[in-house]
């Protein structure tokens, strides 16, 4: 197998390393297309090109691996490769989440395979499991810690008393964060992964814009202390679930008691919990970010292409579900400063209030549909955490 690789950043170099350390997969990287020809590279110059056609039009290249960070350029390259009949492996969750219907249609039309295990929780083999192992079980929910950067930051804040800023810098130095770290911090990245899993778990195409998300960007030392006093910590949790024929999803920071299974999921590790009718609860834990863990998932997809593996999107074929999160209610801690106008009317029920100096919080139940429309949530003085 000859691979044409787009991008040679953290994950691209991770793939290079795992490909050369493994004995199992006989594949070679023939060409690497990069954006910046001036940047020093750890490989001889003959590997590199800045012209995508050197890969797309090379008949010797049968597999295209796309690992760049610009989602729209990635979509054009992946579409072009599929149209050329080349199989594609990508780890670009933003691109996939925004273009799932088109990418699905292109696979049907061209017969080429598109695999993206590395896009969801890096080293945890969740997509292929949902496709193959859980095709007959009645899944009721898929949730977990889907972002390594924010989990790393929260671990450093809770366990080593680092500030949020110090912890972010360390996550960036380790290559866990996106080039634009707001995608991690504000919860976009785990939401993209959630949209992909929604299709493989429940068979629904859901645009990222339809899913409520809130990240860890507003959390502060007071919120961390609130969680500590209650005997736990905070984790950014993404969740999708089925109720009857309706499917819902959201992503929000959650208070996790010290004895909860997520409490021991630390640093860049991710966790995925599946609930289903027959097998009940199962938890997968593994590294969710980093060069080799993500490179390893990409390698596993390359390996699967040796036997012409394709996603069958079986849940979509069986589907009778539709997406509607509106009726779900969350038990929330809403912390705000004087002057921020958190609307009491959005709460179905209020169980606790706190006021001291400039810091206030309200605990109560709010339907997700109200959160999706709440103007007060865009106020930088407001933060929210789900508590159970
Ligand atoms: N920035 C992502 C994360 C990389 O931290 O989880 C892996 O998808």
Whole-prediction pTM: 0.97
Percent of the chain with pLDDT over 70: 100
Which residue has a Cα nearest atom 4 of ligand 1? 289
- 177 close to ligand 1 (CB < 6 Angstrom): yes
As a whole number of angstroms, the distance between CA 260 and CA 257 comes to 5
Residue 274's beta-bridge partner residues? 142, 282
Q: Which atom of ligand 1 is nearest the CA belonging to 184? A: 1
Is residue 286 lining ligand 1, measured as CB closer than 6 Å?
Answer: no
Active-site residues: which are they?
A: 193
- Contact between 371 and 325 under an 8 Å Cβ cutoff? The reply is no
Look at 30-44, 210-224, 321-335, 374-388 and tell me which has the smallest mean pLDDT.
321-335
Cβ–ligand 1 distance for 90 under 6 Å, the answer no
| Residue 100 CB less than 6 A away from ligand 1 | no
- For residues 48-57, average pLDDT: 98
* Mean pLDDT, residues 368-373: 95
Distance from residue 13's CA to the centre of ligand 1 (Å): 16
Judged against a pLDDT cut of 90, whether residue 272 lies above it is answered with yes
Residue 14 has pLDDT above 90, yes or no: yes
Residue closest by Cα to atom 8 of ligand 1: 289
Domains present along the chain, CATH in parentheses? 2-119 (3.40.50.720), 134-288 (3.30.360.10), 329-387 (3.30.70)
* Residue owning tokens 């008691």: 257
Give CA separation, 82 vs 56, 110, 142, 143, in Å.
10, 7, 30, 31
Using 50, 70 and 90 to split pLDDT, how confident is the model at 325?
Answer: confident
pLDDT band at 24 (very low <50, low <70, confident <90, very high): confident
Q: What's the CA-to-centroid distance between 16 and ligand 1, angstroms?
A: 19
Distance 363 CA to ligand 1 centre (A): 30
Distance (Å) from CA 278 to ligand 1 centroid:
31
State if residue 117 touches ligand 1 by the CB under 6 angstroms criterion. Answer: no
| C-beta of 118 in contact with ligand 1 (< 6 A) | no
Measured from the Cα of 176, ligand 1's closest atom is 5
């Amino acid at each position: 197998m000859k691979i044409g690789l787009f991008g040679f950043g953290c994950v691209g170099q991770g793939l290079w390393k795992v490909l050369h350390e493994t004995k199992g997969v006989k594949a070679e990287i023939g060409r690497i297309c990069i954006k910046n020809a001036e940047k020093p590279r750890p490989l001889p110059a003959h590997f590199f090109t800045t012209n995508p056609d050197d890969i797309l039009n090379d008949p010797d290249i049968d597999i295209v691996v796309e690992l760049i960070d610009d989602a729209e350029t990635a979509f054009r390259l992946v579409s072009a490769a599929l149209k050329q009949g080349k199989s594609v492996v990508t780890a670009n969750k933003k691109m996939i989440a925004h273009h799932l219907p088109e990418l699905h249609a292109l696979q049907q039309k061209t017969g080429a395979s598109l695999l993206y295990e590395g896009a969801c929780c890096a080293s945890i083999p969740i997509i292929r499991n949902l496709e193959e192992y859980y095709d007959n079980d009645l899944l009721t929910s898929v949730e977990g810690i889907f972002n390594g950067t924010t989990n790393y930051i929260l671990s450093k804040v809770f366990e080593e008393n680092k500030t949020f800023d110090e912890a972010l810098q360390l996550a960036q130095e380790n290559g866990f964060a996106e080039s634009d770290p707001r995608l991690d911090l504000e919860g976009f990245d785990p939401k993209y992964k959630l949209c992909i899993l929604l299709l493989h778990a429940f068979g629904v195409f859901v645009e990222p814009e339809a899913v409520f998300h809130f990240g860890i960007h507003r959390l502060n030392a007071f919120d961390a202390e609130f969680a500590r006093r209650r005997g736990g910590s905070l984790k950014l949790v993404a969740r999708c679930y089925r109720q009857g024929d309706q499917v819902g999803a959201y992503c929000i920071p959650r208070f996790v008691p010290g004895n909860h299974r997520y409490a021991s999921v630390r640093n860049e590790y991710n966790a995925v919990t599946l609930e289903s009718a027959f097998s009940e609860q199962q938890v997968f834990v593994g590294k969710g970010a980093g060069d080799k863990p993500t490179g390893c998932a990409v390698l596993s997809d390359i390996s699967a292409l040796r036997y012409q593996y394709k996603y069958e999107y079986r849940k979509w074929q069986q589907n009778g579900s539709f997406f509607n999160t509106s009726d779900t209610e969350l038990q929330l801690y809403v912390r705000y400063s004087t002057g921020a106008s958190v609307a009491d009317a959005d709460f179905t029920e209020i169980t606790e209030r706190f006021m001291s100096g400039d810091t206030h919080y309200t605990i109560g139940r709010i339907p997700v549909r109200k959160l999706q429309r709440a103007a007060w949530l865009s106020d930088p003085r407001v933060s929210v955490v789900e508590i159970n």
